[in-house]
Amino acid sequence: MGEVRTVTDADFETTVGGSGWVLVDFWAPWCGPCKAIAPVLEQVATEREITIAKVDTDSNPMNAGRLGVRGIPALFLYKDGKVVSQQSGAMPKPALLKWIDNHMTADDF
């Protein structure tokens, strides 16, 4: 189904700017909630047709800053290169899937 990909500032636009669904996870190695949500995101990639783009904000701060990320984990959901929704903080898998599915099944896409 989907895949998990490590993304840098250099290849961010290439990753999110294509067609299809991309969930960008802005995280940092020292962030406890980021560590907690990581396995959930890996599961989501196996269950949905979506790319999970993981951006370490310590090494790649440019796009997080440009998008106004104030806290991590910060999740940005893209469809065909456009942000359709965003969430801050870790969430349990059912809530994460509901958030994603509400957008992926919306008629306006």
Domains detected in the chain: 3-101 (3.40.30.10)
**Would you say 52 and 23 are in contact if contact means Cβ atoms under 8 Å apart?**
yes
- The CA-based dihedral angle spanning residues 47, 34, 106, 69, taken in that order and rounded to the nearest 10 degrees: -150
Closest residue by Cα to residue 44 from 6, 95, 89: 95
The answer to whether residue 108 scores a pLDDT higher than 60 is: no
**In the structure encoding, which two tokens stand for residue 19, read together?**
């067609």
Q: How confident is the model at residue 107 (pLDDT cuts 50, 70, 90)?
A: low
Residues acting as catalytic residues: 31, 34
* Rounded Cα gap, residues 95 and 34, in angstroms: 16
* Rounded Cα gap, residues 11 and 66, in angstroms: 15
**In the structure encoding, which two tokens stand for residue 9, read together?**
């500032």
Average confidence (pLDDT) over 33-52: 96
